[in-house]
Each structure stands twice: as C-alpha cells, then as structure tokens.
Chain A
C-alpha cells in the first residue's frame, strides 16, 4: 500500500508540475518579468554595442531596467510573431522595413506620434529613414536607428596585380548595354588557371582561378545586396509608385537588359555561376577566389577582419549620366502596442534614438547611426581600425542614395519572386519570366 501511495503521489506531481510550470510561465508573461523593459535585436554585434547604453539609461531612470536579447535573423521574426500571440513579445525591438507593414496591419505596433509630441522627442535630429517608417496612415511606427548602403569590397593585392588603381574602381561606370568600365575592371580582375586574364586572348572560362566579381544575381530581395545600385542609375524604379506600389517593373526593357547583362558575366566566366558559392560575400572574398564583391556597408568590419587580405571599399557605380544611385534603408525601433510597459519602453526607445546613446553604441562601428554627430564618431572609430567609410559617407552627404520603396507582403513577394529570379540566372527560364514576375507582384500587391 505504501508503494502505491508513493506512486500515486509521484504521478500526481508528474501531472501537476507541468501545469504549474505552464501557469508560472503565464503569470511571468503577464507581468512581463517585472519592471524590466525587454528589447530584442537580430544583430549580435549591435546587441553588444547597445548594452553599453543600458548603464547611463538606468542611471537616469532608476525605476526602469533594460534587458537586451539577440536572436538570429531566421528565428527572430518567428519569435516576434509567436510572442505577439502568446503575450511574450518584447516591449520594443529592432524592426525591418520588410516586416513592419504586416505588423501594423495586424494592430501590433504602437504609432509613436503621440509619444513624440508628449515628450518633445527630437525627430529632426534623425538624418534618414523617417519617411520609410511612416505608414500609409501617416503615422510613424519606428524611430530610425541606423542606415546602411551597398558598395564594392575588393582585394587590394589583386587590384594592384591587375595593374588597376583605386581610382579605376572608385569611378567605375555602368550601363546595361556593354557594362561600362565596370565590365572592363571585372574582366581585368578575372584570371584563369594559366594566369591569363579575362580581357586577354586565350582566356579559358572553364578554368577560372580568380573571378573578377562575386555573383551578381539573386542576392537580397530585389537585388538589394547586388544589382539595385546598378539599375537605379538608369532611372529604373522597382515600383510603379515611389511608395506602396501596385506593381513591380520587371518587364521594363532596361530591367530585362540589365538582368541579361549580369547573367552574361557568369556566361563569360567573369563571375561564378548562380549557386557556385553557397557561402556569403565575406567568405567569397576571404577564399581568395573572388577579387571583388558587392556587399552591404554592415559587412565592413567583417571584411576588415579577413586574415591575410587587404580589403578596399569603393562606392556604387556611376551611371551614364555620371551620377551614382546607391540603395539605402534604415532599421528602426518599434514598440509592441499590446505590451505591458509601453511608457517605459518609450523611455528606452527614445534614449536609443538620442545622440548620447547613438554615440556610445556607434563608437564600436557595428552600425551607421542615424544621427549625424554620432555618425562622425563611428566614422572616426572605424578609421582607427583601418576602415575608411568615406565612400559611403560621401554618398550619404551628396544625396546619391535612394530609399527602397515601401510595400506590404514583403515575405510573400520574396517567396514568390526569388525562385523565378533563380530560375532565370540558372538558365532554366528565359526573358518570359519577367512578365510572369510582374504579374505575380501585381496579384500580391493588390491584396
């Protein structure tokens, strides 16, 4: 009988314990872990940098504690979404322009206009991104916290070996017809196994030792990390409207010509074929098999850390009209509308958007602050590490950057359009795919 009682007790505990645990988790979620503001980011480096802002913030706001959590990009959005449902989402979080329209539509983000007005937050100090984070209802759903753009990273030794100068690469021109001087630079940088360069007779495209450029095909949605800064120099725009378009202009002749040009680079052996590398731009340049890659400014510290390779940075290409047109966008801090600590979350978000915090965190060079004075600190700190950000800051200063258009259903568009792009660059599909892509974009954007 004694054994039976013990068994009964054990089973009872086995049944009750998980329920109790569930209940404990629920109450913890309901009170949100006390007075601690939860802030999430997908960027491990920025998580470390922004942690440095916690001490001065908590000193100025003794009643508020802040906890920063970081999750990798692929898990991040799933966690945020399930957190909204389960009541465990962070009070505030780093947000991306591809995701926020869906969250606004579903009533999860706080419009920040009232808070900005109440606390007299200095929105004018934010140098970029405010337009992109203003939704169709003219409300602001994020305080822009950084900006980024895309340029070229190249192996300085390979450049010298090819007899090219920094000026050659800084002033590359491009057009969809013959590729401008960009084409010549890429051909010159390409070397086959016998040491013959891409612009020399006898070049064997089937035995390439060093590609002049990394693959320029399907990186990033709508060429964000590859061709966007090229095509925009022709005057082509992604959407039929500057923001909230109803169609993407994939059928435009200049777009079709540009895609065929980029495909011809791999057909001629100057860039790897689509999928030759399954690793990213940093690994490609680091392998020594690629002389130059198109890459985001956020990779600058990673390129600089490549062992045994001196990496130079060049701005985006010049168009036929002699002007650059590089893509830029901003991530922002959003507040969960149904969160338990909205006021405290705003205190933290507004502090993160202040010059004080942006300068503290920006000194690490892990992002480009959206406040001009803080950006100057970042630039100086990076220069000390041997990274000259002048190619990017010059483009920012001269206004040769453009903002990617705002649109909803970013995930659905990516899942639908990206395989079609891959089909084209794989050689499975011809030019007819572009009409199909435009039609798909119209159907999705019409919802």
Chain B
C-alpha cells in the first residue's frame, strides 16, 4: 500500500521528514532579480494590494484598536468615553451572566461543530462516491442561501410545541410534545441543529471540493489491495482531507462562536438565559443598554478565546499538512 502511494505521488512531492525537503527548499530558493521591469512589477503589486490593505486598516485594524481602547472606558456611545482602567475587566471576572453565557456558547459550539463537521463530511463523501450531479450539489447548498432570519422564523414556527408541524408528528407517534425552543434541556441542541441545517451546504461543498483533489488512482490501488469502503474512508479519505477538515473545523468553530441571528430570532436568549450565547449578551449590553465599554471588553475576551482556540487547533491538526506530505 505504502509503495503504491509513493508511486502515485506527483513528481517533486515532498515527504515529511525526508531529505527531499531541504533539497527542494534549496532548489526553490528565489533568485534576486533587480531589473527595471521587476521593479515596475513590484510597484504594480503594491498598487494591487492597496485596496485590501486599506480595507484591512479601516474595517479591521482600526475597529480592533478602538475596541481595545473602549474596553478600558465607560462608554455610553452618546457621550464621550471615560477612562476607567481595568474596571470593565474586574466586572467581567465577577459577572455570572458572562460566565454562564460562555458555558452556553461552548456547549453550542461543541454540538454545532461536532454535528456540522460529521454530517457535512458524511454528505460530501456520499455525494463524491455516488453522484457528480450539479443539481444535487445545488440543492445541498440551498439552506445556506436562505437568510438566517427567515430560517429562524420558519424553524420557530415548525418547532412550536402547540402549533408546530414537527411536534404534530412527534405527538402522533409518542403522545407527547417537546418544547424545543423553550425548555432548558432542549434549546441549545435545537439551535445547534438549526445552525447545522443552515450551514452544512457550504461546508459540504468545501469538503466535496477537497475530495475531488484526491487522485482516483489511490482508491483504485486500495481496492486492488482488497480495502473496503470504510477502510478507504478511514485510511485514505480522512488523512488526505486533513487540511480541508482543519479549515472547515476552524471556520465552523469561529462561526459557531459568533452565533447571533438565529438565537435573536428564535429565543432571544431564553428561557431564563438558557440560550443567552455570548454574542447575544454582548449585543444586549452594547446596543440594548448602551454600555459599549463593557460590550467591547466582552468582545475582546471572545476575540482572545478565538485566537487561542484557532491557534491550538491549527497546531493539533497540523492544518497545513496532509498525511501524504
């Protein structure tokens, strides 16, 4: 198997830990060119990336720095910010609602990522093995194209324990109804399922695209060696998809941490704060109570958490490498 895999590798492919790597690196070292034509290209290059740099400075860097500053202030948005040092951070440490919201968010992220990646992976693999129909791919991505607000309204009607069609079916089967969006035990799993339904089309297509980069010869070789579908999935598909899986997982985690619209439309954080995810709490503090200083502090805490999680994940999943490297 190993021999066949090596044999099927494209020419020039690197093997992790092999001597080829240093040789390739040396061989690929750029030669310094100082011709007039290249200097002109250098200018054009800068010009080309200027819009992106400007966008980054105006819409990312400045708001981030401003947010950091505001997190040290009492800022009620309509009056000038007052510097209060670490006041907001002290409040954060003692804010039970914040920590409860964090736990709620982590629970939501865990469910949304686990279900999201697993279902997307399964759907993508089935699609890849069964059909190349663009119509079916189009249908799969359809929920992703629907507005989150519309999805939230429709799902809240469907899941209503007295009037919803889902509970009509459940009641006809079991005689009981489930308060999906108003029972503490059910609300976060329900929101996670709605979110996965909404986003799985996009992640499925990403994974599907990754699957198409795996050379078919690899599967042919495996089949020749007598591997069954599950073995091929476990020993070929999963390892070769690692960079895509890592990217999808990180994107799903970040997007799950930022969940807001579906919660705002369906539960508004209830019942009794059971679905009061961090973004809801931040929004309520900032835009509802006009406490933008504390809202900035919480946003910064979320930002720091996302950096740590993304970095750790990248390291753990060796996101830039697949097992063929």
* CB contact under 8 A between A419 and B273, given known A7-B44, A102-B290: yes
- Whether the Cβ atoms of B272 and A428 lie closer than 8 Å is yes
- Whether the Cβ atoms of B163 and A81 lie closer than 8 Å is no
The contact of B271 among A108, A277, A426, by CB within 8 Å, is A426
Q: In angstroms, how far is the closest chain B Cβ from the Cβ of A71?
A: 14
Taken together as a complex, chains A and B put the C-alpha atoms of A279 and B154 apart, in Å, by: 12
Complex contacts, A412 vs chain B, CB 8 Å: 288-289
For A422, the closest partner residue in chain B by CB is B272
The contact of A84 among B78, B161, B184, by CB within 8 Å, is B78
Q: In angstroms, how far is the closest chain A Cβ from the Cβ of B162?
A: 5
Q: In angstroms, how far is the closest chain B Cβ from the Cβ of A278?
A: 5
Complex contacts, A4 vs chain B, CB 8 Å: 40, 44
Complex contacts, B287 vs chain A, CB 8 Å: 77-78, 81
The contact of B44 among A8, A14, A84, A278, by CB within 8 Å, is A8
Interface size class of B (residues with CB under 8 A): 35 or more
Complex contacts, B54 vs chain A, CB 8 Å: 15
* CB contact under 8 A between A15 and B50, given known A278-B160, A279-B157, A289-B163: yes
- Whether the Cβ atoms of B78 and A278 lie closer than 8 Å is no
Q: In angstroms, how far is the closest chain B Cβ from the Cβ of A427?
A: 10
Q: In angstroms, how far is the closest chain A Cβ from the Cβ of B236?
A: 43
Taken together as a complex, chains A and B put the C-alpha atoms of A284 and B160 apart, in Å, by: 11
Name the interface residues of A414-429: CB closer than 8 Å to any CB of B.
Answer: 415, 418-420, 422-423, 426, 428-429
The interface-forming segment of A116-124, A268-276, A316-324 is: A268-276
User: Chain B at the A interface: mostly helix, strand, loop or mixed?
Assistant: loop
Taken together as a complex, chains A and B put the C-alpha atoms of A274 and B270 apart, in Å, by: 11
Interface size class of A (residues with CB under 8 A): 35 or more
Per-residue CB contact flags for chain B residues 137-160 toward chain A (1 = under 8 Å, else 0) read 000000000000000000011011
- Whether the Cβ atoms of A275 and B290 lie closer than 8 Å is no
- Whether the Cβ atoms of A272 and B162 lie closer than 8 Å is yes
Is B179 interfacial (CB-CB < 8 Å)? yes
Q: In angstroms, how far is the closest chain A Cβ from the Cβ of B82?
A: 13
Is B51 interfacial (CB-CB < 8 Å)? yes
Name the interface residues of A221-278: CB closer than 8 Å to any CB of B.
Answer: 272-278
- Whether the Cβ atoms of A411 and B78 lie closer than 8 Å is no
For A275, the closest partner residue in chain B by CB is B182
Name the interface residues of B289-303: CB closer than 8 Å to any CB of A.
Answer: 289-290
Complex contacts, B321 vs chain A, CB 8 Å: none
- Whether the Cβ atoms of A287 and B289 lie closer than 8 Å is no
User: Chain A at the B interface: mostly helix, strand, loop or mixed?
Assistant: helix
Complex contacts, B157 vs chain A, CB 8 Å: 279
Is B181 interfacial (CB-CB < 8 Å)? yes
Is B79 interfacial (CB-CB < 8 Å)? yes
Complex contacts, B179 vs chain A, CB 8 Å: 273, 275-276
- Whether the Cβ atoms of B271 and A287 lie closer than 8 Å is no
Q: Which of B44, B157, B289 has the most CB of A within 10 A?
A: B289
Complex contacts, A11 vs chain B, CB 8 Å: 47-48, 50-51
For B164, the closest partner residue in chain A by CB is A278
For B163, the closest partner residue in chain A by CB is A287
Complex contacts, B44 vs chain A, CB 8 Å: 4, 7-8
Taken together as a complex, chains A and B put the C-alpha atoms of A289 and B270 apart, in Å, by: 23
- Whether the Cβ atoms of B78 and A426 lie closer than 8 Å is no
Q: In angstroms, how far is the closest chain B Cβ from the Cβ of A284?
A: 8
Is A34 interfacial (CB-CB < 8 Å)? no
For B283, the closest partner residue in chain A by CB is A78
Is B77 interfacial (CB-CB < 8 Å)? yes
Taken together as a complex, chains A and B put the C-alpha atoms of A289 and B161 apart, in Å, by: 12
The contact of A278 among B156, B269, B273, by CB within 8 Å, is B156
Taken together as a complex, chains A and B put the C-alpha atoms of A74 and B287 apart, in Å, by: 11
Complex contacts, B128 vs chain A, CB 8 Å: none
The contact of A419 among B48, B78, B156, B272, by CB within 8 Å, is B272
* CB contact under 8 A between A426 and B77, given known A7-B44, A276-B161, A277-B160: no
- Whether the Cβ atoms of A276 and B182 lie closer than 8 Å is yes
Is B242 interfacial (CB-CB < 8 Å)? no
Complex contacts, A74 vs chain B, CB 8 Å: 264
- Whether the Cβ atoms of A283 and B163 lie closer than 8 Å is yes
Taken together as a complex, chains A and B put the C-alpha atoms of A409 and B264 apart, in Å, by: 21
Taken together as a complex, chains A and B put the C-alpha atoms of A107 and B77 apart, in Å, by: 12
Taken together as a complex, chains A and B put the C-alpha atoms of A304 and B263 apart, in Å, by: 31
Per-residue CB contact flags for chain A residues 270-303 toward chain B (1 = under 8 Å, else 0) read 0011111111000110010100000000000000
Q: In angstroms, how far is the closest chain A Cβ from the Cβ of B194?
A: 13
- Whether the Cβ atoms of A275 and B284 lie closer than 8 Å is no
Q: In angstroms, how far is the closest chain A Cβ from the Cβ of B29?
A: 29
- Whether the Cβ atoms of B271 and A422 lie closer than 8 Å is yes
Complex contacts, B78 vs chain A, CB 8 Å: 81, 84-85, 103, 106-108
- Whether the Cβ atoms of A422 and B270 lie closer than 8 Å is yes
Complex contacts, A106 vs chain B, CB 8 Å: 76-79, 290
Further contacts, 18 of them, CB under 8 A, given A106-B290, A426-B184: A81-B78, A85-B77, A275-B183, A275-B271, A277-B162, A277-B163, A278-B266, A279-B160, A283-B163, A284-B162, A289-B162, A289-B163, A411-B288, A415-B288, A420-B272, A426-B271, A428-B184, A428-B272
Identify 29 residue pairs between A and B in the complex whose beta-carbon atoms are under 8 Å apart, listed by A's number. A7-B44, A11-B48, A11-B51, A14-B51, A81-B78, A84-B77, A85-B77, A102-B290, A103-B78, A106-B77, A107-B78, A107-B79, A108-B78, A275-B161, A275-B181, A275-B182, A276-B179, A277-B163, A279-B160, A287-B162, A287-B163, A289-B163, A412-B288, A412-B289, A415-B289, A420-B272, A422-B270, A423-B272, A428-B184
A contact set with B: CB distance below 8 Å: 4, 7-8, 11, 14-15, 74, 77-78, 81, 84-85, 102-103, 106-108, 272-279, 283-284, 287, 289, 409, 411-412, 415, 418-420, 422-423, 426, 428-429
